[in-house]
Amino acid sequence: MKEKILHLSLYLLVSIVIINSATAWGEEGQKASLGERFHAETSLTWSGALADLLRAKPKLPSLYKDYPGTKKISLPKPDYRGMVLEDVIKKRRSVREYSSRPLELYQVSQILFAAQGLTGSLHGRPVRAAPSAGALYPFEVYVIVNNVENLQKGIYHYSIINHALELIKPGDFRNDITSAGLKQEMLGDAGVTIVLTAIFDRTRHKYGERGIRYVYMESGHISQNIFLQAVSLGLGSVSVGAFLDKKINNLIGIDGQKEAAIYLHSVGRI
């Protein structure tokens, strides 16, 4: 019996090598681009699913990141009641120009809650405002505060479990975020620019390399929540995918590998 399992394992591993070799080439022998290879090599197949059972997966990191010893700002309870959902969806637009009026803290609170706030529990586990594959929630939320009433400028981490902000870098980072965002001025003009980062191993722990696809899908869920909540609050917002990854990662203070910036989202008064 053990020999049969060993032979099956070897067969699957050889199949993986052959499949991976084949996916490195596109049509008519042309070498596939990096994007094409990513799509092909994370495609879901029965052979791939069986092989994934034999492949080592990373340990599950903590589902909540925190910054001990930092200044913590409790956020107002997220109990805002706004527009009818259908009206919000109809009105949603990407807004890139903001007034100089500051955001209020309750608005920031509501935006962060819509992004990743705890909304209850399922089977004894906390669940968040946006859907996540396997309820593994790979995302962390950082807030670059440019213009918020009674809130110090700086880079903050959203403590999901406490619904609070943790100040990790005080200072004015408007020029830094604009530069890292390819000179897109709204990133520095907004009241806040939200940086969504992913800790990939939270999802890869269960889903392997396919899980990386799920991470990118999830960033869209979160961003849409931010969009809709901003409209309901009478604010403008826009999501941004064009940025210099290394600059953003360095600005936040993450390694760009185990945890990396995936998406930006600015929110401001209009």
Residue 3: pLDDT band (50, 70, 90) is low
37 inside domain: yes
Report residue 104 as tokens. 């209020």
259 inside domain: yes
Phi and psi angles of residue 172, each rounded to the nearest 5 degrees, phi first: -95, 110
| Total domain count, the chain | 2
Q: What is the pLDDT of residue 57?
A: 87
Report residue 103 as tokens. 């955001």
Average pLDDT over residues 10-19: 46
pLDDT tens digits for range 40-92: 888 888 877 777 776 788 999 999 999 999 999 999 999 999 999 999 999 99
Q: Are residues 44 and 75 both part of a single domain?
A: no
Q: What is the pLDDT of residue 241?
A: 98
pLDDT at residue 18 greater than cutoff 70: no
Q: Using an 8 Å Cβ cutoff, are 222 and 160 in contact?
A: no
pLDDT at residue 11 greater than cutoff 70: no
pTM, entire model: 0.88
Q: Are residues 116 and 241 both part of a single domain?
A: yes
Residue 17: pLDDT band (50, 70, 90) is very low
Average pLDDT over residues 170-193: 98
Sheet arrangement for strand 236-240: 71-74, 164-170, 154-159, 139-145, 192-199, 259-268, 236-240
Q: Are residues 162 and 41 both part of a single domain?
A: no
197 inside domain: yes
59 inside domain: no
Cα angle 35, 38, 43 (rounded to 5 degrees) comes to: 130
pLDDT at residue 2 greater than cutoff 80: no
Range of the domain at 105: 71-268
62 inside domain: no
263 inside domain: yes
Q: Are residues 122 and 151 both part of a single domain?
A: yes
CA 153, CA 102: separation in Å to the nearest integer?
11
What's 203's domain CATH number?
3.40.109.10
10 inside domain: yes
Phi and psi angles of residue 263, each rounded to the nearest 5 degrees, phi first: -155, 145
Report residue 95 as tokens. 């807004």
Q: What is the pLDDT of residue 47?
A: 75
Average pLDDT over residues 82-103: 97
Residue from 114, 133, 144 nearest 224 by CA: 114
Cα-Cα-Cα-Cα torsion 114, 98, 169, 126, nearest 10 degrees, comes to 0
Q: Are residues 44 and 123 both part of a single domain?
A: no
Cα distances (Å, whole numbers) of residue 15 to 12, 20, 22, 51, 260 = 5, 8, 11, 9, 31
pLDDT at residue 212 greater than cutoff 90: yes
Q: Are residues 215 and 146 both part of a single domain?
A: yes
Element at 145 (helix H, strand E): strand 139-145
pLDDT at residue 113 greater than cutoff 80: yes
Residue 9 has a CB neighbour count (10 Å cut-off) of 14
Q: Are residues 40 and 143 both part of a single domain?
A: no
189 inside domain: yes
Q: Are residues 198 and 98 both part of a single domain?
A: yes
Q: Give the rounded percent of residues in the chain with a pLDDT score beyond 70.
A: 89
Q: What is the pLDDT of residue 110?
A: 98
pLDDT at residue 29 greater than cutoff 80: no
Residue from 255, 218, 259, 219 nearest 240 by CA: 219
CA 49, CA 58: separation in Å to the nearest integer?
17
Q: Are residues 227 and 114 both part of a single domain?
A: yes
CA 46, CA 119: separation in Å to the nearest integer?
35
Q: Are residues 12 and 119 both part of a single domain?
A: no
Q: Are residues 167 and 139 both part of a single domain?
A: yes
Residue from 112, 111, 129 nearest 120 by CA: 129
Q: Are residues 38 and 132 both part of a single domain?
A: no
